[in-house]
Amino acid sequence: MTERRRLDGAITATRAIEIELSDTSELIEMAEAEGDEEMAVEGVAVLRALAKRAETDKVAALLAGEADNNDTYIEVNSGAGGTESQDWASMLQRMYQRWAEKHGYKVEVIDFHSGEQAGIKSATMLIKGPQAYGWAKTESGVHRLVRISPYDSAARRHTSFASVWVYPQIDDDIDIDIKESDLKIDTYRASGAGGQHINTTDSAVRITHMPTGVVVACQNERSQHKNKATAMNMLKARLYERELAIREAAAADVEAGKSEIGWGHQIRSYVLQPYQLVKDLRTGVTSTSPSDVLDGDLDPFMAAALSQRVTGDSVDVEDVD
């Protein structure tokens, strides 16, 4: 029934655009024949609005994957480079939080590890909302930042890397078989805010799935049992996402992109100095306002990557200096 409603909505929206396009075209032809310039201008304005609607509907049509309507986990990890990359990872975490808020999604921080001086070593967020995974799934990969370092007294330009991994929260009716003997479960003290109890007991839980090497962790609950249950759900989600990726022809490229958080693996570059530019290295989509992108304006990048994933069209894109 959910699929039927989705298809019915898509068909209805497409037919509505077709009818309005036909009516507007006839109106413009009539206006040109009668020399009514004002009516012709209004008709062109309607066509522009229709084009925007069609583009929005096209993106919605792309979100038809098996788990696209699910909530999603977004995991951010800093690369090599100490404070610089850890600060960059915290900027990415904020970027995705702001993006989620713009969509009206709810954000829950599942796991968080602070950097030694600033930023974060890693963080995992659960984004709750319709089509959250469908929108965010193309963000997996390495993200590169170029800027004048605020931590360098000589004010030199630095390049930093951080990785993003996106995987869906799975539904209860999806059965993921995990053997207890395949798991390594560690407990440790949680870090960060949370009060006296959360920082003085081994309430945080880390689970390693030995056959695949997948590692998940949770520390946001005061109870070790609740953290373990959440971590198990995350593990099931990661293994499910892994199976989805294997089904895709680009699965090998995805895994290779996650193998190293550094040069040559990035999917997007963010340049703050000496000029302002954000460039996606898969689709060629750019923005000359990095501040807007870092404030959550990610939809143009996501839409282009979704379209590319469906069509399979590749683009030769050079990275920025």
| pLDDT, tens only, 28-52 | 999 999 888 899 999 999 999 998 8
Side chain identity at 265, as an amino acid letter? H
* Contact assessment for residue 281 and residue 269, using Cβ atoms and an 8 Å cutoff: yes
The residue that leads in pLDDT, 315 or 300, is: 300
Range with the lowest mean pLDDT among 70-79, 102-111, 303-312?
303-312
The span from the CA of 268 to the CA of 144, in Å, is 6
Q: State both tokens at 292.
A: 């807007």
The span from the CA of 198 to the CA of 221, in Å, is 8
In this model, does residue 249 exceed pLDDT 90? no
pLDDT band at 7 (very low <50, low <70, confident <90, very high): confident
Check residue 261 and give its pLDDT: 60
C-alpha 86: how far from chain center? 19
The span from the CA of 12 to the CA of 2, in Å, is 15
Check residue 262 and give its pLDDT: 56
The span from the CA of 261 to the CA of 15, in Å, is 46
Mean pLDDT value of segment 207-234:
89
Check residue 197 and give its pLDDT: 47
3-state secondary structure of 26: helix
Check residue 150 and give its pLDDT: 87
Check residue 57 and give its pLDDT: 77
